[in-house]
Amino acid sequence: MNQSYWQKTTRKRTEKVLNKDITTDIVIIGGGLAGVSLAYQLKDSPYRIIVLEKDAMGSHTTGHTTAKLTTLHGLLYQKITKNYDIHQAYLYYRSNDKALKEIQNIIKRESISCDYQENSSYIYTDDPQYVKDIEEQKKILESLRVEVVEDNQHLASIGLKNQAIFHPLKYLFALIQSCQKSGVLFFEYSQVTHIERKNKLFTLSVNHHKVKCQYLIHATRYPFIKKGIYFMKLFQQREYVDYKETQKGKDSYLCIDQTCSYRPLMNDDLLMIDRDAKDWYAQDSIPLRGIPYIGRIHQYQQEFIIYGFQKWGMTLSQVAARLIADLILERDNPYEELYSCHYFSIASAKQYTQKIINNVTRGYWSQRFHTRSIQSLDVKEGAIVKVDGHLTAVYKDGQEKLHYFSPYCPHLKCLVHFDKKSQTWVCPCHQSVYDAYGQLIEGPSIFSLHKRKN
């Protein structure tokens, strides 16, 4: 189900499931690249550390990414300069450039075989109306003294040399192994469902056990907690990826006008993101303010968040790992202010206002009026149906058996809808995802859809 190329080409690791009460110093929630990179950054500190993952390590967005290691993050430099200023764009570039070099050093130091290969990374367009965006971004990068190259295959393009590609799961699993040698504990299928905060101590509920700690980090990509209402300051966006037996050279390309992005693989085939792709899908969280939230939830508290990589989490995971480790170990970090969670940008959020309004309207209102009849359902299709006057989510499986659920997302009671391509129920409001049988795949919800009798 939704298996990526990375998952098919790595030997799966198996970690323990948490089955007892534990007291420790630091808990990291989330076993994706952000959480594991942070554990690696802290592994030699005096603190005892555990990582809790609700499914398998790296099985969510990190296991379904395209894994370009680059500081050329689409048109972000142009957007940050427009909504903030050139200095913030400079800090953003510096932090990611440093992270890229740190990842290269880790791979060397730990001798990690992760199909690492240097290449150039490009953004491009063949549509005249987007040429000015490329030109603007070029000017900004040049003013930051970043060396920019062009290719001659497209109407407009810019690229950066000395970028890279790698195998994210081989890298992730090697980090886990190195952390374990230093005593870090990893638990899989160990979902955090509740957090109690008392006297500077956190008590987490996990698999009917209690985990106590002094420092707590949320590396869950998108919040399952309501504290700080970050679920209203972010949304999740889905992309589909295809494996293609096609050769297009050694470099990585992102088209800025139609989300057609591709990167080569070690065997010279490639991964492609475009609208018609269907091999696998993944979601990443987009911060309305345009810059990820990496830092303390509240000043002076020992609780930290890492959210909003907006599809650039390979280098940003390392930025976050370094920054949160510095905050915990009370070291200065030049990027603390840039990523701090204590500001918002209305200017940046404006570009998403209509989208958010549409999502919420769909979830709380318009879906109610788009009910179907059970007879109209095809096999392997789901829809909202009225059963005895009650809205009900119904799925017809391959054997034409009907499965009935509550259509209300347990997170905030929006009405889910069925996505036939991925065979999932999706909440339009905050993008929780459930499989066709109502089992939770992606949060913010922490519960599955409630089963109903027919």
Ligand X SMILES: Cc1cc2nc3c(=O)[nH]c(=O)nc-3n(C[C@H](O)[C@H](O)[C@H](O)COP(=O)(O)OP(=O)(O)OC[C@H]3O[C@@H](n4cnc5c(N)ncnc54)[C@H](O)[C@@H]3O)c2cc1C
Which positions touch ligand X (CB under 6 A)? Answer: 29-35, 52-55, 59-62, 65-68, 191-192, 219-221, 224, 239, 241, 273, 282-284, 309, 311-315, 317, 443, 446
Q: Is 49 left (phi over 0), alpha (psi -120 to 50) or beta?
A: beta
DSSP three-state, residue 219: strand
- Find the shortest distance in angstroms from Cβ 169 to ligand X: 10
DSSP secondary structure letter of residue 58: T
Nearest residue (CB) to ligand X, 144 versus 433: 433
SS3 content of the chain, % helix, strand, coil (to 5): 30, 30, 40
- Find the shortest distance in angstroms from Cβ 439 to ligand X: 13
Q: DSSP assignment of 152-200, as one string?
A: SSSSEEEEEEEEEE--HHHHHHHHHHHHHHTT-EEEES--EEEEEEETT
- Find the shortest distance in angstroms from Cβ 129 to ligand X: 25
Work out the angle between the directed axes of helices 86-109 and 168-181 (0-180°, nearest 10).
70
- Find the shortest distance in angstroms from Cβ 205 to ligand X: 10
- Find the shortest distance in angstroms from Cβ 245 to ligand X: 19
- Find the shortest distance in angstroms from Cβ 139 to ligand X: 24
- Find the shortest distance in angstroms from Cβ 221 to ligand X: 3
DSSP three-state, residue 351: helix
| Residue 409: count of CB within 10 angstroms of its CB | 25
DSSP three-state, residue 435: strand
Residues for the chain: how many in total? Answer: 454
Nearest residue (CB) to ligand X, 15 versus 53: 53
Nearest residue (CB) to ligand X, 49 versus 385: 49
Pairing mode, if any, of strands 234-244 and 280-287? antiparallel
How far is residue 88 CA from its own chain's centroid? 22
Nearest residue (CB) to ligand X, 84 versus 312: 312
Nearest residue (CB) to ligand X, 67 versus 89: 67
Residue 194 Cα distances to 31, 212, 289, 306, 378, angstroms? 18, 12, 28, 18, 39
Nearest residue (CB) to ligand X, 382 versus 428: 428
Nearest residue (CB) to ligand X, 222 versus 418: 222
